[in-house]
Structure formats: structure tokens, C-alpha cells
Structure 1
Amino acid sequence: MNKLFLCIFTLLLVKADLHAQVNVIPQPLEVTSPSKGTFSLSDKTPIIYKQKGLEKSAAFLNGYLSQFYGFSLKQGNIKATTGIYLKIGNKAEKVAGNYALEVKKEGIFITAATEEGVFYGIQTLIQLLDPTEKTVQIPFVLIKDEPRFQYRGMHLDVTRHFFPLAFVKKYIDYLALHKMNYFHWHLTDDQGWRIEIKKYPKLTELGSTRKGTITGFLPGTGNTNTPHGGFYTQDEIRELVKYASDRYITVIPEIEMPGHGSAALTAYSFLGCTGGPYKVQETWGVFDDVFCAGNEQTFAFLQGVIDEVIALFPAKYIHIGGDECPKTSWKKCPKCQQRMKDHQLKNEHELQSYFVQRMEKYVNSKGKSIIGWDEILEGGLAQNATVMSWNGEEGGIEAAKQKHDAIMTPGNYMYFDYAQTAKRDSLTMPGLTTLQKVYSYEPVPQHLPKELTKYILGAQANVWTEYMSSPAKVEYMIFPRMSALSEVLWSSKESRNWNAFEKRLKRQFDRYKLWGANYYPFFQTAKSEAK
């Protein structure tokens, strides 16, 4: 009996020691240790693969090692007695992105059914590297893993504040390191138009720059009176899309309509109901001037924009916004009122539905699908639309009931522009979204019938940048909440445990330091708030 107790106690100690060494976020599905020991990784270790496509995963690992550990590895179809072996197996995957990673004395073996799965195995391998040491010893371990949700997203608003391409690439790397696979790029709004459209050059000539920006919390305590602007050329966008694709991340562009159009109206005043004058907004909020729904030129313009957007982004989806569209100008506009009569529309909500459905049909005709914020449910949902639910979970639930796909992004859990602490430590939006709250989020609504849960594709966090004027502030607002979100979206519901996550987070903070990323000091602040 004593021997049995000793064996069990020893096994528990070994398992505890293993988990102490394997501080991976998001938590893998299975972690075991067939034998005890470590593998030494050095510049003499090659990355070995035969199949085409795996060079992208090898290159990502090499780039990481070179940047943070000071050495890189030979890669390719190399003959060697030991190394990092990458392989696409013959088994069909049950879940897109699954992989197996084994570390033993003969080498490191990453096997998956697809290139994407191998890439996720590389991300786990990176997390087995000690971020506080330059000598790399990796514990012997066997990991079998797969993602829970097919949509694991992060959003970035570049309209309220413009960020250079180099930072957007860095942001993409952060997503990759957290096994995220969708980047929602918010490119147009009232405060700036950020994408070059060759057919309409005034969009960037006039619409990309505002004359100033309010200071302090809305409605503001003053104005910088300093022009703020910037946009991405089509060549830069192609570069970014490829950069993301090499990391198995799909970029979804958002072109706002029918609301949030001040920048576009400033460039082309005929797009509005009144003809102007319009301006690129210097403050935040919702504005009455929107695209005119009764003007055929509006649709011709937006179709021209969509044509160029589709050529730049190979993603299945185009996000058309559809949120926060005041009906004030439509109610006063003779053209909009005539449109309602012609199509027997009962009210302006149905006019918005007409607008969205008409644009959806055009997008569908180009082989693409639309995503819209949950206001696109008003007046009737477009035929093939995916709903992004931000006003709570109701929009996602309603979409699923109508057998439409939904992506959950409720503001009280998924808005990373909200403060992280009740003792507000910087200028932010007025909401509060703590790290614990993000980690507690369950994307599948509790009361959704089981047969409808398949319509919940996953979830996404949104980063609105009214109060984020620098890359450092963006990093501060996303870390460590992005790490919590990654576990919500990747790991099984059953494996999620706050206490275990909090322990692993301490090592994640070491990674933030290694990356040179700014971050919110959760442990220090949480301790002071508990007093």
C-alpha cells in the first residue's frame, strides 16, 4: 500500500514538474511526458522537411530565434541525425489546425494534417523556449492539440489613429504567437479613410487627414489643432496580406456603410443627402451625415470601392459595418423617401436593410460574403450575411436562430478599449473589462439550442483606438487580455482554469518582456486592488 502511495505521489510530482516546464498559452489539449530529459537546441540543429509549404513555418521559427536568441538554423530537406522535423501526415484532420509535437533525444517532431497545423505546432515549440535564458533546453514532452473554434480573431481600428505598416505587421505577429487566425482591419470611418482606391483618389487626398483631434475624454477638453492622417497604399496592403497569409492569418477589411461615412463624404460630397459641407471628424461618436440611400451614385461609388477591395483581399469575407447609422438625414431626404415609396419600405430601418442587402448581392456576385455588425438585423437580415454580435449576445443568438453564422464580440467582454482596472490608469473608453472577465467568457450562448451552436463560428476582441495614439498604448491595452482570449478560443471548455492560467501567465509576462512589448502589469495591480 505504501509502495502504491509512493508511486502515485511520484507520478503527481512528475506531472506537476512537467506542467511547471510547459507554460503554454493557450493550454494544449493533451500534455504528457513519455520520458525525462531535455533537448538542446543550438545553431547546429537543422529544421528538416520535405513537403512544399512548410518553409513558411520554418521561416517563422528562424525569424523568432534570430531576433530573440541570436541564432538561426539551416532549413530544408537536410540529412542529419537529429533536428526539428516538420511533416504533413496522411491522416485527415478532425479539426482544422490540429497537430502533434514530440520532443525527445532524437529531435523535435511536429506532425499535422495541414501546413496550418504545423505552424501552430511551431508556436507551441516557441513557448517551450525559456524567455529568460539564451541557452535553449526543451523538456521532453508529447503534446497533442487542436483548436476549439474555427474563428479566432482580433480587430484593429486604424481610422481614429493611424498606425504605420511596420506596427500592423508586429500586430499580426502577436496574433500568430497566440494561434489567432483572423485579423479584422477597420479601414474607414468618420475620422479617416485609410485605404487607397485608385478610382477615387480624393478618398485619400482629402478623406485621410483631419485638421485636429480632441484632447481628453469625449466631448473633449480641447483640440490638438494638428493634422492627423495617413493611409495604406495598395502595394502596402498586398504586402500586409501576404505577411499575414504566411502566418496563416486571414485579413478581413472593413469598409463602413451606410453610416460612419464622414471621410468619404468629405472627399465626394455627392454621396451625402445634403451635399455638404462635410469634414473629416475631429471628435468621436456617431454623426448624422451618412451615405445617401436614395442616390444611385452612392451605390455605383461603393461598388467601385468594393471592386478594388476584393482585388486586394483574397478573404472570403468583406466587412461592411452596418452599425450606428442614424436615420435623421434619410428622413429629410426626398431621394431616400422616394426610394422607400418605390420599394414599399415601411420605415428607415427597412431602408437600411435595403441598402445592406443591395450591397450584399453585389459582394456575392463577386464570389464573396459580407460580415456586418448586429444592426444589420434591423429591418431584415441579408440572405448570406454573417453577424458580428457586439451589442451583447442577442444579435448572435438571433442570427443563429435564422441559421446564419455569427461571430461573438460583446462589448462587455470583448472590447479591449475598455479599462482593465477599476482604478483607471489611463484615458480609455468608460467600460471595464478585466483580464478575469475576458477569461470567463463563453462564446456559445448558454441558452442557445444545441442544434444551433454550429452557427457560432468563434469570437473576436475589438481594439477601437480613440484613446490609443501610439503602438505602445495599443500593446498596453491588448496584453495580457489577448492571451486570455487565445485560451478561450483555442482550448477546450473543460480545460480552462483561471488559477492554472494565472500561474502560466507569469511566464507569459517574461515573453512580453522578451518581445519588448508594453503590457498592463496585472499581478501588481490586482494585488494592490485586493488590499
Structure 2
Amino acid sequence: MSPADLIPAPRAVEGPYRTSFVLGTGTAIAAAPGTEGVARWLRTTLGSALGRELPPGVAGAAHTITLRIDPSLQREAYRLSVASGVEIVGGTAAGVFWGAQTLRQLLGPDAYRRACVDPEAWRGIAHQVIEDAPRFAWRGLMLDVSRHFLPKDDVLRCLDLLAAHKLNVFHFHLTDDQGWRIEIKRYPRLTDIGAWRARTKYGHRASELWDERPHGGYYSQDDIREIVAYAAERHIAVVPEIDIPGHSQAAIAAYPELGNTDVIDTTTLSVWDNWGINPNVLAPTDNTLRFYEGVFEEILGLFPAAVSPFVHVGGDECLKDQWKASPAAQARIEELGLADEDELQSWFIRHFDTWLADRGRRLIGWDEILQGGSRAKGRAPVERDEEEGARNERPLDEERRQGVRAPGGETTELGLAPGAAVSSWRGYAGGIAAAEAGHDVVMCPQQQVYLDHRQHGGAEEPMPIGYVRTLEDVYRFEPVPPVLSPEAAAHILGTQANVWTEVMQDRSRVDYQVFPRLAAFAEVAWSALAAPADRDFADFERRMTAHYKRLDALGVDYRPPGGPLPWQKRPGVIGRPIEGAPPNV
């Protein structure tokens, strides 16, 4: 395998020249202090795949893979040098790990298998030097396990796939109307009741089909600890999402007092079995605040700050109809001196913004957390799909800079604590506003990087949802809007692709939607410095020829370039395709 076949593409390659290193039965690993975890990963992963023991060796010796840290390099940068031995030098252990992932690609697709298929195979690598570093610090994938639960082993496999593509953030969407997926010991009904639904809509919500089997599942706290530790060994940060105050019917079904009991009989609610935006939202009461403080206390214990300081609070698609009809909610608005229900939602989010900041954590939320954070009089356009996107949003205009101060803490001009960050999903507008106000931003616009959207306009796509987003479309995605000043652009932490699983019933369907587009996204996040129109898609497509063999070895059920295979289609199950496609920035 040649460095010309690497995905994501490295920044600089010297060579390759003649073959000089062969991974044989005598190959050893020399791990300098701080790289022991990478050495362990190499032994268990490459050693098993290629049938080699890879015992401890002497740094710099022939037939030895030497691992070391050089603090003069950027944190995730690495230099991989191949001569009679291999040396991988990283700015930190993370950089060494990404260099080890590049070594794995150079060794060929058999290096991605779980056991050796040919112990006698010749594993030669040509003399070369690869110097590389990522463009963005946040290179993520959001996986929704609430709409369709994925067992723990599938989550661990997902982490391996992220690592193989040099992605380093796993946004774990754990709660929604359709299921609560994490054990909270002080509130056992969240999983006893909230983790299970009686049946499931099959296809888009307009479909007349139902899967009448009960569906559900959840991760125990030990499962979560295992997932977080497994991710950390692969230098992946896990960011949990607990969605508030909307997308909460599963929690209300488990604890009816969390809902707007003066508007509806919440004791009649069950975990939702359909898709869309649900009107049953949390009541803005002190009881609700204390309840979720208890939830977040356990969350903080399971997701250590050393792994990631961020906690995602959702904050999206909160319909205000019940609050408008609720005497208790209206009294709360009057008590707090708020203008309307938008500011009530902002108050709710700011409460947890301050609560998390007081505990050394950082809130991140979908761009609706900007709603009601100013007393804006005008309405500016927001890029979104009218039906699938949020309602009742208050888009930002120039008057957003007036700001609203949150009780008990300093806020920025958008009414959030200075450390709060925004996931910009309804287009670029929310991210632009947040970055200009000094907030960090993760760009994940649905029009570009929602991988639940269909990959082709053909009728054979299974349950087609949203815009057509081809492999090339994702490859040409640009996370940093050119309208940003250099100062604001510095607040773009990075980017992530989002995977919502309403029409993905199992791992195979997730694979089909995510791959091969995640490979294109990984290159955007790691190495795509050129303007979108200047990126060489033909070269990327050529490199994908080698990468498909890696995905085959990993057992990924990707969408083939020629279209879905017969067993990947879902004839007769309707989706919701959207015609037209907003342009990239």
C-alpha cells in the first residue's frame, strides 16, 4: 500500500523509495514513556491481524517500531519515518496513535482483520517520511441511539471505525422522546420505563407501516464506563447528550411530574413510538431543575472532565404550545421578568449552563440555545427545512448584541456563559452568530453533513430522507464560512457529521448511511485545507478504491459506488426525500 492511497490525505510525504522495512516474526515495539497505550493497541490490533507477537524492543533498532513523544510537535501531529525500522513521533500520545493508524493503512487491508488470514504474507513498507497534523481539534460523529438502540458492542465497533478515520469526538445522543438509554441510579424508572416502547413506526412518520415488536435497551453505568475507557484508549472524547427541555417524552413517561401537568394528563403518556417534533416538553419548575441536576451529577461522574469537559444539553426543537397554555409556565415567565416562552427556554438552558460551569464543565447545545438569549426585535432567516427543522425559533439579527444576563454569572452578548459552545445544525447562521459573539462552534449543518440524508436521488435508496448528499458533496463541505473574520473563525472548534436513526433499525442500516461518506468527511475534518471547489475529488475517489478494501476487511456494510445491493433496499417503505439542495458556503 502506498501513501498515495491514504485517507485522510497526509500533509506531506517524502518518498516512497525502495522497500526497507518488513513487518516479520522478529518485529518488536519500543515504547517510550507516555506511549505505552499505543503500543498495547498495536500489539492487540495489528498483532492479531497480521499474526505477529510484536514484543518489547530497543528504540531505533532495525525491525523495530519505535514510539515516542516530541512536545515540539503540535498536540495531534505526528511524523512517521520508515527505514530499516519504523519510528512514530507525536506531539502527544494522541499524535503517536494517529501515526499508528497511518502505519496500519500502509500495511494493507489485512491489517484491518481480527485474525491473521495469511501468516506467511510479506508485509513490506517502502522507505518514506510522512508528516501530518489535523486541521481541526474537533472531528466528530454524533450517533443517535435513542430512536433505535444499538447494543454496547456496536458502539465499541463504532469507536474503532472513528479511530480508523482519525476522528476524535463521539457525540453520544442518549435521550429523546423515543427512549432513555443511560442508567441513572437515583431515578430507576428512566430505564425501567423510559428505555422501552411498545412499537415503532417503520419508515418516515407518514408511512402506514409499523414494527409491532417492542423496542428498547439501555447502557448500565458500567457499560458507559467501559465505552468511555475504550474511547479514551483510542484518543476519542465521548460527549454525552441529555436533551432538555424538548425531546423529553421518554423521561416524562417515566416521571409524569416532569411534564406540564396543568395542561395535559401526563400519566397517560408512554415512550413515543413515532417520529417528528413532540409537543410534550419539560415543565419549567424547580422540581424539574432539581431532577435534572441529579441526572447531570451522575453524568459528570461517568464522563470525566479529563476525557472531555463538554456536556451536550440538546436544547433543540422545543415546541412552546404547552408553555403558552400553562398557567404555571406563564407565572414563571412573569416571576422571572421574561418577555416570552423563547426567553423561558433560554432561562432553562442558562440555568444548566451556569450549573455546569460552576463544576468546571462546558455546556454545548444545538443552535436553538441562542433563541431568547437576546431581546431581538427583528427576524433574520435561518437555514432549515421547514417541516423537519425547529419551529418557534427566534433567528438572530444585529440587536442580539444587547444580550440577556443569566442570574448568578457573567454572560456574553448572546446570554450564555463564556465557555458555552454551539452545535450549528440548521445551517451556518447560528454558528456564525455564535462565533462572532466569542463562542466556540462545532459546524454540523444538516444540509451538508446529516448522514441520515439520502446518498442518491434514485428510487432504490432505502427509506430516502432529506437532501441528496453524495460522496462528492460531503467531500466538498467547508466547515469555516468565508464570511467570518479571522478572530471569529478561530472559534470554529471543528466539525462533526450527525447520524439520526429514525430509519436505521440496526447496525447494518447505520453502516449503509454512514459509509463511505464518513471517509470523505474525515478528510474534510483532518486535511482539507483547500477551498471546496479546488479539492481533487478524482484523486480522493481513486484512493477510495483502496479504502473500500479496508472497509470490507472491517465488515462495514457500506453503500457500494454502483448503488444499493438487493438486500440493502427497502421496497415499499416510504421516506421523506426533499428536492433541491442548498449550496455549500
**Quick check: TM above 0.5?**
yes
**Match of residue 536 from structure 2:** 497
Aligned match for 1:420, one of 446, 455, 460: 455
Counterpart code for 2:303: F
- Of 175-184 and 67-76, deviating more is 67-76
Distance (Å, rounded) in 1 between the aligned partners of 2:276 and 2:155: 24
CA contact (8 A) 2:16 2:126 kept: no
Distance (Å, rounded) in 2 between the aligned partners of 1:524 and 1:461: 21
**1:75 partner SS:** coil
**1:397 partner SS:** helix
**Match of residue 72 from structure 2:** 92
**1:462 partner SS:** strand
Aligned match for 2:293, one of 283, 298, 303: 303
Aligned match for 1:292, one of 261, 272, 283: 283
CA contact (8 A) 2:59 2:66 kept: no
Aligned match for 1:403, one of 438, 441, 448: 438
CA contact (8 A) 2:172 2:239 kept: yes
Structure 1, unpaired ranges of 5+: 1-18, 526-531
**Match of residue 122 from structure 1:** 100
Instruction: Give 1:470 shift.
Output: 1.1
Counterpart code for 2:426: N
Structure 2, unpaired ranges of 5+: 111-117, 374-413, 565-585
Instruction: Give 1:365 shift.
Output: 1.4
- Of 326-335 and 131-140, deviating more is 131-140
Aligned match for 1:226, one of 213, 237, 240: 213
Aligned match for 2:41, one of 60, 74, 78: 60
Counterpart code for 1:499: A
Q: Percent identity?
A: 42
**1:403 partner SS:** coil
Instruction: Give 1:80 shift.
Output: 5.2
After superposition, residues 190-269 of structure 1 pair within 5 angstroms as 190-269=177-256
Distance (Å, rounded) in 1 between the aligned partners of 2:543 and 2:247: 41
- The answer to whether residue 345 in structure 2 is matched with residue 345 in structure 1 is no
Deviation per CA, 1:296-348: give whole Å up to 9, x if none. Answer: 10000000000000000012000000000000110111111011001111110
CA contact (8 A) 1:488 1:496 kept: no
After superposition, residues 509-528 of structure 1 pair within 5 angstroms as 509-522=548-561
Q: Is the helix fraction higher in 1 or 2?
A: 1
**Match of residue 64 from structure 2:** 83
After superposition, residues 324-473 of structure 1 pair within 5 angstroms as 324-380=317-373, 381=414, 382-383=416-417, 384-423=419-458, 424-473=460-509
Measured at CA, do residues 524 and 222 of structure 1 come closer, stay the same or move farther in structure 2, by a change above 3 Å? closer
RMSD over equivalenced CA pairs, Å? 1.8
Counterpart code for 1:420: Q
- The answer to whether residue 24 in structure 2 is matched with residue 42 in structure 1 is yes
Distance (Å, rounded) in 2 between the aligned partners of 1:148 and 1:418: 25
**1:226 partner SS:** coil
**Match of residue 25 from structure 1:** 7
CA contact (8 A) 2:19 2:124 kept: no
CA contact (8 A) 1:47 1:84 kept: yes
Distance (Å, rounded) in 1 between the aligned partners of 2:488 and 2:30: 43
Instruction: Give 1:77 shift.
Output: 5.9
Counterpart code for 2:96: V
Counterpart code for 1:268: Y
CA contact (8 A) 1:412 1:432 kept: no
Distance (Å, rounded) in 1 between the aligned partners of 2:46 and 2:160: 14
Distance (Å, rounded) in 2 between the aligned partners of 1:406 and 1:170: 27
Deviation per CA, 1:241-291: give whole Å up to 9, x if none. Answer: 000000000000000000000000000000000251211000111111100
Counterpart code for 1:287: N
Distance (Å, rounded) in 2 between the aligned partners of 1:328 and 1:524: 43
**1:421 partner SS:** coil
**Match of residue 15 from structure 1:** none
Equivalent residues, number: 503
CA contact (8 A) 1:50 1:77 kept: no
Deviation per CA, 1:144-194: give whole Å up to 9, x if none. Answer: 010011110011100011111111000000111111110000000000000
Instruction: Give 1:524 shift.
Output: 6.0
CA contact (8 A) 1:50 1:76 kept: no
- Of 470-479 and 500-509, deviating more is 470-479
**Match of residue 567 from structure 2:** none
CA contact (8 A) 2:203 2:502 kept: no
Deviation per CA, 1:61-110: give whole Å up to 9, x if none. Answer: 22322443333411366795431111112x423x3201100111x20111
**1:270 partner SS:** helix
Distance (Å, rounded) in 2 between the aligned partners of 1:462 and 1:394: 18
Instruction: Give 1:35 shift.
Output: 3.9
Distance (Å, rounded) in 2 between the aligned partners of 1:162 and 1:49: 39
**2:5 partner SS:** coil
**Match of residue 69 from structure 1:** 50
**Match of residue 4 from structure 1:** none
Counterpart code for 1:279: S
Measured at CA, do residues 182 and 21 of structure 1 come closer, stay the same or move farther in structure 2, by a change above 3 Å? closer
Distance (Å, rounded) in 2 between the aligned partners of 1:522 and 1:515: 18
Measured at CA, do residues 436 and 112 of structure 1 come closer, stay the same or move farther in structure 2, by a change above 3 Å? same
Distance (Å, rounded) in 1 between the aligned partners of 2:36 and 2:558: 32
Distance (Å, rounded) in 2 between the aligned partners of 1:144 and 1:212: 52
After superposition, residues 163-174 of structure 1 pair within 5 angstroms as 163-174=150-161
Aligned match for 1:283, one of 271, 274, 281: 274
**1:418 partner SS:** coil
Distance (Å, rounded) in 2 between the aligned partners of 1:515 and 1:66: 16
CA contact (8 A) 2:171 2:241 kept: yes
After superposition, residues 98-113 of structure 1 pair within 5 angstroms as 98-104=77-83, 106-113=84-91
CA contact (8 A) 1:487 1:496 kept: no
**1:432 partner SS:** coil
Instruction: Give 1:452 shift.
Output: 1.1
Instruction: Give 1:50 shift.
Output: 2.8
Instruction: Give 1:431 shift.
Output: 2.5
Distance (Å, rounded) in 1 between the aligned partners of 2:180 and 2:72: 43
Distance (Å, rounded) in 1 between the aligned partners of 2:139 and 2:31: 28
Distance (Å, rounded) in 2 between the aligned partners of 1:468 and 1:387: 26
**1:288 partner SS:** coil
Deviation per CA, 1:363-394: give whole Å up to 9, x if none. Answer: 11111111100001101142232010000000
